[in-house]
Amino acid sequence: MAKITCAISSITFTVDHFTSPGTSFHLANTDGYFHPVFAAPHTTLHKLYAVHTAGKLTPTDSYLLFLSFLHSSQCIHWKHPATLDPRTPQTRALIENNLSQLLSVLARTDIIVHPSFKQPKFVVNHNNSDLSQITNWIAAWDSNIEDFYTYRASQSEQEELQAVLNKLSLLILSGEEPKKYAHVIADWASLAGEFPAPCKEEYKRTIRSCFNETKMFNTPLALLKEIKEYCETNIAVGSIHFHALTTTLKTGIRNHVDYLGTSSLSLGYTLLPDIGDAATIEAVVKNEKALASVLITAPTSAPVATDYSSSLEFLRARLAYKVASRSAAPKPIQLTPAPTANNINLKDL
C-alpha cells in the first residue's frame, strides 16, 4: 500500500496494491503528486458542491473540494501546499465565507472568451500557505472582470462615435443642407457630448426637430438653451461637426422665437448681441426691413382661427395684426411749454 501526501492540500491518502510485506511506501508532497479530486472535471466538482451545500460532506472532503475549485482556475501556482487543518473552525469558516464567491468569479471568467482577457495569477508559498489572502485574490479576479467589461463598453462607444463621425463628415462635405441630416447631427452630439441618460432621448429628439417650425414652436425655449449650453460645455469646439451642430441649434432657437418670420425688436426679443458694432447695426436694419414687410401683409382686422390652415399660421397672423395695430396707434403729442420766467434760457435770447 502506498501513502501519498498531496502536493496541493497536504492531506495524506492511501492507494491500494503493494500490500505484500515490505512493499508499502510513502510519497511526500515534494514529490509532486496530488489527490485525484484535483483532476476531476467541473461537472463532477459541481455535483460534489451540491452535496456540500446539503451539509453531507465531511470537513476534509469540503476542504479538498474548495482547493479543487481554486486549482481549476489555473491562476494558482503551488510552490507550497496549503497548510490548513480542515478540522478546525477557522478552516471551515474560511471555506464557507469564500466558496460561493469563488464559484461565481470562476463562472464569470469562463464566459469571457476574448483572447486579450487574462486573470491575474498568484503563487502559494510558505508565507501564504494558510490561504488567508484568498478573499483578496477573489476580489482581484472580480475587479478584473469589471474592468474588462468597462473597457469593452468604452471601446464600443468609441467605435460607434467614430462611425457616426465619419458619416457626418461625408454629409457635411457633400454640401447637403444640415436640415437633411439633423438626425445624424443629433446622434453625433449625443455620443461626443455623452448626453446624460435621463435626458438623452429628449436632447436628440429636440436637435432632430430644430428645422421644423411647428415642433420648435411647441418646444420650450429653456430646453433649447439648455441643450446649447450643454453642448458648448461638453463638446470640443472648432470642428466642422460642431459648427453643423451650432447651426442646427441656432436654427431651432430662431424657429421658436421668430413667430413672424423675423426676430422683431418691436416684440421685445432678439437673438442679436447687445453691442454697437457694424454687424449688429446691419442686422438691426435688416430686422426693421423685415418688420416693414410684416406690417404691409398684416391683416386689417382681427384674425379668426378657422380662416387659417394651422394654429401656427393663425398665431403669426394674430401677432402681425397686433404689431400693425400698435404701429398704427397715434403717438402722444409732446407739447413744448411756453416760455416763462422760470424756464427762459439766456442763450436763446
Work out the average pLDDT over 221-230.
92
DSSP letter assigned to residue 127: G
Range from 177-186, 188-197, 220-229, 334-343 carrying the lowest mean pLDDT: 334-343
Quick one: pLDDT band at residue 293, thresholds 50, 70, 90?
A: low
CA 74 to the chain's CA centroid? 35
Among residues 128, 150, 172, which one ends one of the domains? 150
Strand segments (E) across 109-204:
122-124
Q: Tell me what pLDDT residue 160 has.
A: 86
Q: Tell me what pLDDT residue 139 has.
A: 95
pLDDT at 81 over 80: yes
Residue 190 lies in a domain: no
Tell the burial category of 335 from Cβ atoms under 10 Å away from its Cβ (0-12, 13-18, 19+): exposed
**Domain span at residue 130?**
2-150
Alpha-carbon distance of 43 to 41, in angstroms, equals 5
Task: Say what angle helices 59-72 and 42-53 make with each other, to 10 degrees.
Answer: 140
CB hemisphere CA count around 59 (13 angstroms):
11
Domain count, the chain: 2
pLDDT at 14 over 60: yes
Per DSSP, the chain holds a count of helices (H) and strands (E) of: 11, 5
One domain for residues 280 and 146: no
Name beta bridge partners: 14. Answer: 3
Residue 192 lies in a domain: no
What is the edge-to-edge ordering of all strands in the sheet holding 25-27? 12-15, 2-5, 25-27
Among residues 134, 150, 166, which one ends one of the domains? 150
**pLDDT digits over 160-169, tens only?**
888 888 888 8
Residue 84 lies in a domain: yes
For residue 95, the tally of other CB atoms under 10 A from its CB is 21
Residue 221 lies in a domain: no
**pLDDT digits over 93-130, tens only?**
999 999 999 999 999 998 887 778 899 999 999 999 99
Residue 260 lies in a domain: no
Range from 17-21, 76-80, 153-157 carrying the lowest mean pLDDT: 17-21
Burial pattern 291-315, b for ≥16 Cβ within 10 A else e, equals: beebeeebeeeebeeeeeeeeeebb
Alpha-carbon distance of 130 to 244, in angstroms, equals 64
One domain for residues 6 and 143: yes
Work out the average pLDDT over 293-303.
74
Quick one: pLDDT band at residue 311, thresholds 50, 70, 90?
A: low
pLDDT at 349 over 50: no
Among residues 81, 116, 150, which one ends one of the domains? 150
Residue 63 lies in a domain: yes
Which is higher by pLDDT, 22 or 317? Answer: 317
**pLDDT digits over 38-49, tens only?**
999 989 999 999
Residue 16 lies in a domain: yes
Residue 114 lies in a domain: yes
